[in-house]
Each structure stands twice: as structure tokens, then as C-alpha cells.
Structure 1
Amino acid sequence: MSPRAKLAVVVVAVLLLASGSLGYVLHSAHRGPQQAAAEGSFTLEGPGLYFRDTATGRIARQSLDAPRGPRTGGGPVCERFYAAGDTAVCLRREPGVPPRAYAVILDRRLHEVRRIAVPGIPNRARVSASGRMLSWTVFAVGDSYATTAFSTRTSILDLRTGYLIKSMEEIPLTLGGARHHAPDVNYWGVTFARDDNRFYATVSTKGRTYLVEGNMADWSAKALRENAECPSLSPDNTRIAFKKKVSDDPAAPWRLYVLDLATLSEHPLAERHSVDDQAAWLDDRTVAYALPGGAGRASDVWTAPADGSGAPRLVAEGASSPVAVR
């Protein structure tokens, strides 16, 4: 075979391999969202504790009255999930060139109604009690709140108007009674009040974190106190569960606390392990959260009484991202 013929054979082989690989990638990217959708029988119609099954990556459900009881699978594939009213938000990474992440908005039957590309690693998600207001946080740089080398982007979506705030960073911030401007301002972990106007979030700046109260109507935020991360507003809107930094040990820096909004007094929960999660209220008396799992599991869901009494209780093995649907 002449050198020119050999070259032609090599070129054809390379083209065939490239087209086959591209076809596989495109096929995987095409089938990803379909495989990631919820099965037809899995909806939000039934009350229960919904969570991410870490073995399958899909959302599962079990009875609120049967901790560690049988679970029903078949929900959508999500890395973070939350639901309220008739709405759910599912943060998901999907294959592609390059891989992409999305905030997928779902209705009560878990049918997709909107999809928004998100520039980072899915991390936090919340829906207001009415189902109207949604928020999500992604890591833009790094992958841990335990270091200073991270950057987040937090978005807010109003489903009634369709208006999307892609990043909260430009919200006017009042800190210590004065308007605060700094290039390092970073927001994460939004939680909404029942009026769909007031919200709470974490802001970090100058190496410190603060709990802020925000107002959607006039688009403003003010710091309420220092050292409060990943807030979660109670169903009665009177208290906030949050993680407080109590140690410089990077392996165990936080502890869960509850803050009374009327008095700004706080108390720790019975859970003494470090919790790196945005807790979820199952009702006005109980807080749920994820911890690293036992027996090699990625994580488990636990609960603790919100008043600081009692003891933690394991409610779902191999689970994360809990939310109560009633």
C-alpha cells in the first residue's frame, strides 16, 4: 500500500471513531433529561417526607409518621430538591459537551415547566410556601463552605411574573446601619416568608458571614446578626434554623441553632455533630438535616426537636435534601 493510501485509511478511521464518539455523546446528552424525569406514578400528590435517595440519585418518598420506614422511589434525578405549594425545584447536572447544570422547575405532578441553566455546582434550593418564589445557590468556585476559596451564585425566580434574578450580588445591602459596597459580597441559602416578599439569606464579606433580611418589593437587604449561615424559616415564620460556626476545626466547624426572630435569642439543637446543610422544618416543632452516613453511605437524614430538647433521630438512611410535603 502506498504512503498516500495508508494516510487515507488512517484519516477515514479517525473520522469514523470521532463520529461514533460524537454520536454517543449526543445520544447520552439527548437521553439524559428523559431518563432523569420522574416516573408517571411519582408525584407530589401524596403527603410524605421527600428526599434524594443517594443510591439512585432520584427523589424518593416515605411516610412522615414512619421514620426509616419503606420508601417509594421513581422521582426525578436531582442533586438538590425542594417542594412547596404546587411547585418543586430540582437542581441537576446532565451529560453534554461540556456537562451542564440546570434548575428544573416542576409542577405538582413533577412535570417539567421550565429549565434554567445554572453556572456551577448545585448546592441549595428553596420554594416559598405558596410555590410562587424559588431560589437556588450554586458553587461557582470550589466546593465547600469550610474554606474561604469559594464563590457562590444565588438566583431568585418569581413564577407569577416569570422574572428571574440571575444573581443577588447587586442587591443594596445595609450592614451596621450603613450601605455596604465590596467586591467580595457573596450570598447563599435563601428562605422565604409566607408573604412571598420577605426573605432571609446568608451574606459573606470581609471574611465574616451575616444573616440578612431581604425585601423583594423594594429590592433591599439588611444584616440582622453575624455568624449565621444557611437559614431556614419555620412554617409559622417566627424562628430560623441555621448553622453557626463554633470551631476553627475544618472537619467540624458548625452546629445547628434556632433563632427567635422577635427577641434575636438563640439556642443550639440537640445535634452535636457538625451539620453542613440548609436544614428543613418538617413542622413547627421538628428540624430535618443531612449528615454523613453510616456504613459507607454518602449521607443520612436526621431530625431534632426545634426547642433544643430531646435527641437526634435517624429517619432516612442513604438520603439527603429532605422536605416535608403535606
Structure 2
Amino acid sequence: MNRELFMYPNYSKGGVSAVLRGRAAASSDTDFHAVFDRDMKGRGAYSGFNNITPRVVRPDRQASYLKYTSTRFSIGSASVLSHPSGASILGNLPDLFLAYEFHSSDMNVVSAELAKLDLNRIDEYRVPSEYMASRLQRISPKRVYQRLRVVPNVIDSSVFSVTGPSDFLSHRARVETEGHEVPIVWVGRFDKGKGYGYLLRTLAMLPENYRAYFVVSLENDPNRLIEFVSEAAALGVSERVSVFADLSPATLANLFRSARDMGGCLVSTSLLESFGFSVAEALATGLKVRAFDLPVWREHDSFARLGVSVAPGSVMELAESISD
């Protein structure tokens, strides 16, 4: 049995939990010891995975905990995501292969992490796409890109597949307005880079039977939600918008298949993506995708069949692609 440490700041049900679930599903012969700084309501994120052991460990106790764990379980490798201080701790442990991964599409965030790392101690740097590799090479020193490897994220096909429950929206099979409801699913965070406002403006241009379902991560800042609600009200689409927070992977997959069966789509309004997990997961369920054109979509095989991309920021083109 192989054993690997996995380190990330937040124990949550966000995108990084999908990264770990995908790896655990694809590598059943590997035990993953996942270490987090803080609990962001991640309980249940790894249900059904006997080869994932999640632990929330206070930063001031992590050095002793990581040393004990790596020795006690004979762990030979570690993957660190968005956690330079964790990489510093693990860098002091002998005989441990240390990989640092960049999953953020914000190169300012990536640059800040690079500045905090002991670049000589990292054995390998990883990114989830060729697109991210090319971007990282532009801003990193030679000792980073010489050790750079593209490791595409793995979708948990036992959950995100064309078969499975698809009744999430069954109670909304028909609306009082003209025709059947056409669901539009959006997944992300309420920040500018994810561009939720573009979908709200697009929704305002579409017929009344189109409805948007926003699936978001838990927010620490209530002002983001307030801004979202205010923009929806200003555009007159509040009654055609639903917001869900912290959905389990199985429930999200159900929503995707339910939207697929009702003729809907996933919409990505992101202006930058390092991989695009929600797009990949939606494609795996057979759900159509409409997105702003980003280079990374060309690395998803199913996008050519189920996806349509439009010029970034073009609400008119996005509305046309959805209603086609």
C-alpha cells in the first residue's frame, strides 16, 4: 500500500476536495493522509473513500504532527497545494519526495506563493493543464520549470457519469411561464474572476422560462452574497435565480444530469481557469457547456462535442449560445 501526504489550508467541499477525491478514486492502492489548517465545513467531503484520512491540525502543531505521521506510516511522498508554510515544514523531513502544486488561475497568487517557497527543496512542481504550465514558465526561474510536470486532474467517474439519479429538478419540470423550464447551472465563488454578473445579465436577455441555479462554496464575506442579490434584483431576475451552497458531489452530479434531461446547460463565465473542474464534471455527465473562450477548454476532450465557447465578456453571444 502506497501512502501519500496531501496538504491544503481549507477542509471544505470546494474544488480541491474534488482534486483529492479524483486521485483517491483512480488510485485505490494509495492511502492519502490529508492535512488541513482549518475546518470550513468539510465533513462528508470524502464519504465513501476508505483511502482518505482527513485531519484538521492547527498550524502551530503541524510540524510535530507531520513528522510523526510521515514516520509512523512510512510516507514517502507529499503533495502541497496553496500552502508555502506547509511546504517549508515538509522540506525539513528527510527522504520525503515533495511536490508543490499550483491550481489557482490567478498568477498574482501563484507569484506570491513562489516568493515564499524554498525552491531548491521542492522535488517537483505540478500544474493541472498545459495552459497553466506555459503561464508558469513565463514567471518562474529555471529551477522551477525544469522540475515542472503537468498532472491533469481526475474526475471521479463513479459520481460524475451519464448514469445515476437525475431528479434534483423534477419538481420544476414545468413552470407557469410559457413552455418548459430550461435550467442553467453555474458553479463557483462570488468573486470577480468567476464573473457571475455576466450570467445574471445574460439571464435578463433570455425568455422567462430560463432559470439559473448558482452552486457556490461557503462564503466568509457576506458582502459578496449581498452584492449578488442586489445585482440580481437590479436586473429584475431575482425570481428566476436559486442559490445552493456546499452541495455534496453526488447532489451536484444529480443536478447536472437533471439539467441535462431538461435541455439545460452549465455556463462558465470565468475569465481565467487553470483546469475548470466544474466544466469537466458537467461534461462527464453529458451536460452541455456554454463558456467564455479559454485556452484550457481545448484540453477537455468532450468539450468539442458538448461545449460551445464565445468571446469572453460577450453577454449577447452567450445568450445566443444558450438559446440555440
Normalising by the smaller structure, the TM-score range is: under 0.3
Larger helix share, 1 or 2: 2
More strand by share: 1
Bigger RCO of structures 1 and 2 (CA < 8 A, at least 6 apart): 2
TM-score (norm 2): 0.23
TM-score normalised according to structure 1 size: 0.23
